[in-house]
Amino acid sequence: MTRLQELAKLGQSIWLDYISRSLITSGELQSLIGKGLRGITSNPTIFEKAISGSSDYDDDIRRLSAQGKSDVEIYEALAIDDITRAADLLRPLHEETRGVDGYVSLEADPKLAYDTEGTIVEVRRLWKLLARPNVMIKVPATAAGIPAIERLTTEGINVNITLIFSLSHYDAVARAYIGGLEKLAAAGGPVEKVASVASFFVSRIDTMVDKALEAKRTLDLQGRIAVDYSKSVYSRFREILATSGWKRLAERDARVQRLLWGSTGTKNPGYSDVLYVDHLIGPDTVNTLPPTTLEAFRDHGRVAVTLTEGLDAARARLSRLEALGISIGQITQKLQDDGVMTFARSLEGLLNSISEKRKKL
């Protein structure tokens, strides 16, 4: 049994934070599924690396360009093709797990992060284009994204909520999902067919907090706060599952909105390359790993439930952080704001790469 399969037995699914045409056509994705991989996530940055870093898409770009397609239309056509191919490879797993796993996520236009109605229209369009039950559309947990998440859930659309950095972000996302399911249930809709994950971004918290701790000359807390904060969010998640509101939905076979740990590649080379995997294992969770982190965990990761360990000590360290005058609330809101801008720039970079490819071809 592989480490990924052992994690699945503990209730955690490993998804790959990467997609490319060659991953699909070479048989590598199918091989990883056989070894315990249970899903895929993507974003414009990932597609930009895949498209600009290979010739896999050149023929399609040449063909679509000849048809008069714009850079945006070419990107969407390439992305839809990859996502649907990957979803079809994962479809047997989706059916085998009765809809728990086997998902592929596609990012909605990040420029719509502060546009509720625009997000709803865009996600509906992508959902219809993809036309597969094992696809999720990514929507950010911004103030404008929250009502969109509730509406889309009410419509039975699978949503992967991204850019969650704080406990308050997570609370709003959980309320939106439950509210959407309650409205769907009230209308007699199939709540059991809706799936969602709440993607909490981990490593970026340490990156920013560590700088603040260095300025305070408090080095013993460095590299710990992201995991500690994640454990606090997981504790809140378990509390929500124990509420009467959720239990009523569970009686109708509603699916748990699992916590997904995102941004789990270790950015500080002084830390373990599996820091944000080994310490974030627990039931009803997903961890989406970039390829290098996936290989590192497959090689030397530790399989054990760790999310519930040392919660009191984690909370004590978070209290120390606040006592030092470092506001986790301010840091996490800045991280979300910066994340929205980064995603938008990534899309611009992707479109520029396609434009350059068209000129060369």
Spot the catalytic one: 9, 138, 211, 360: 138
Q: Which amino acid is at 232?
A: S
Annotate 67-105 with b (16+ C-beta within 10 A) or e (fewer). Answer: eebebeebbbbbbeebbbbbbebbeebbeeeebbbbbbb
Beta pairing partners, 161: 139, 198
Q: What are 354's two structure tokens? A: 């396609």
Q: Which amino acid is at 197?
A: V
The string of DSSP letters for 178-199 reads: HHHHHHHHHTT--GGG--EEEE
How far is Cα 228 from Cα 226, in angstroms, rounded to an integer?
5
CA dihedral 105, 111, 116, 122 (to 10 degrees): -50
* SS3 of the chain: helix, strand, coil, percent, to 5: 60, 10, 30
Mark whether 183 is an active-site residue.
Answer: no
User: Active-site residue numbers?
Assistant: 138
